[in-house]
Structure 1
Amino acid sequence: MSGFKTLRAQVRRRLLISYRVNPDVAQTLIPEPFRPQIVDGSAVAGVCMIGLQSVRPGWIRPRLGLRSENVAHRIAVEWDEDGVTRSGVYIVERHSSSLLPVLAGGRLFPGVQKRARFTLDETTSRFRVAMSARGIRVAVDVELGGPWNSSLFSTVEEASSFHEHGAVGWSPRRDGRGVEPLELTSTDWMVEPGRVISVQSSFFDQLPEGAAVLDSVVVMRDLPFFWDTPAIVPERVASDSSSVL
């Protein structure tokens, strides 16, 4: 990211919706040198629907920040760095309700972002969020709590750990030459189980039949988040300066 090194925000609501995905199909959606992260024989992908407020560079006071709704379609990936296998997510597309990240995405703000329209109908325990943009639509209805039900993660704590360790997100660069990383952290990381009432994602629905199966959702609420640019480069890219992912 060529603009601010650190961004801060308060997360009002973050829904992490996970899918089981056929590994061969997942591999077609990500560039080299990344590979799908496998859990119980499946790749893991999903939709992150995040409502932010007080979005700002780290040195600006919270009251001056932006407010936005955002969606990211992501695939959990692995890569090799200094002989060590690391994990994170590859972000296929980002969408935002705010015009500034769309215009400045990849410059002042992380990743290239596309403009989208959002509709919200939320309470303290139920989240109805819909996003529509050119060629893509997402609509979710999630209720907080309920029994944990997932074939990927045996407990909500296991799901929380998986998402927390996937903090580095890779996005296509604005100039189309490769990808750039951004690392998300929080001093108060906490997730809660959610119950899916309904989920529609045109991104996953358009994959071959049976290639993507809805698995589970976790909810994060009212937490401070930080985004930093980590100094990391996958080995294949580092060893070939002409490589374009």
Structure 2
Amino acid sequence: MRSPRLSSVIERRLLVNYRVDPDAAARLLPGPLRPQLVRGHAVAGICLLRLGGVRPVGAPRAFGLRSENAAHRVAVEWDGPDGVETGVYIPRRDTASRLNVWAGGRLFPGEHGRADFEVHETSRQVRVALATRDGDARVDVSVEVADELRGSELFADLAEASRFFRRGAKGFSATRSGRHLDGMELRTDAWRVEAGRVHSASSSFFDDPDLFPRGSATLDCALLMRDVPVTWLPLPDLVPGVPLPA
């Protein structure tokens, strides 16, 4: 059964980004994906996402659902029929929603684990913490909205960072079977991001020395999206080791 296109509003999308050694990033990726490099670094991070009004395209917004979600991501590229394409690989997705856990991979692409979230937000401050029910991942991030992007070694300014992440709209997620990756693409005509200044950030994923040896993953910057209407389109499955279809 073909998955439906979904409509929603990104109420909050906090992107916490790390500069990563390319070899460390490559070890996380299935072929035909490879790390997308920026100034010699791979780019990876955590997407802390609250969605509202999630529903099939065309359905009344009154039927839309709301959920807190998280995705660990690596920026990737691959050879497509018209040249190099870009997106993200998602080794794990987690959610506070029981429905997302059940429906992900069944009714729409993207299998999810279950997590408990703690969120504190104002117009200028965002803190998101989560712990997965399987005990494998913990995240705690506190960010303040800033007027400009400062201190990043990946991006010269907010405009450059915005362009990079907008081009990475296609996401391929790991599945429990390991036989394929689920694909989903984000589309919007209202793309806008704000710069964030990180007060504190901890991640059991990026702090794991077995995945990222000492010095191979360094916090770089944070970006924030708020109140952006989007559409999610299913993509053909990717089979590891097999080129993407034309």
What TM bracket, shorter-length normalisation? over 0.9
Between 139-148 and 191-200, the greater mean CA deviation after superposition: 139-148
How do residues 82-231 of structure 1 correspond to structure 2 at under 5 angstroms?
82=81, 84-133=83-132, 134-149=135-150, 150-206=152-208, 207-230=212-235
Q: Alpha-carbon deviation of 1:198?
A: 0.7
**What's the Cα RMSD here?**
1.9
Of all paired residues, the percent bearing the same amino acid is: 46
Amino acid of the structure 1 residue aligned with 2:149: W
TM-score (norm. length: structure 2): 0.92
2:14–2:225: 8 Å Cα contact kept in structure 1? yes
- Note if contact 1:3-1:107 (Cα within 8 Å) is conserved in structure 2: no
Q: What's 2:32 paired with?
A: 33
Alignment-derived partner of residue 242 in structure 2? 237
Contact 2:10–2:227 (Cα < 8 Å) also in 1: yes
Q: Structure 1-normalised TM-score?
A: 0.92
Secondary structure of 1:100's counterpart equals helix
User: Quick one: distance in 2 between partners of 1:125 and 1:10?
Assistant: 20
Q: Secondary structure at the match of 1:103?
A: helix
Aligned residue in 2 for 1:58:
57
Measured at CA, do residues 63 and 178 of structure 1 come closer, stay the same or move farther in structure 2, by a change above 3 Å?
same
**Deviation of 1:238 (Å):** 4.4
SS of residue in 2 equivalent to 1:63: helix
Count of residues paired in the alignment = 239
What amino acid does structure 2 have at the position aligned with 1:46? G
Distance (Å, rounded) in 2 between the aligned partners of 1:86 and 1:108? 26
Question: Any stretches of 5+ residues in structure 1 without a counterpart?
Answer: 241-245
Deviations 1:106-132 (A, max 9, x none): 111321100000011111111011110
**Structure 2: how far apart are the matches of 1:146 and 1:138?**
25
Counterparts of 1:235 and 1:73 in 2: how far apart (Å)?
Answer: 19
Task: Write out per-residue CA displacement over residues 172-217 of structure 1, whole angstroms, 9 at most, x where no aligned residue.
Answer: 2353212122101112000011111111111001121111000001
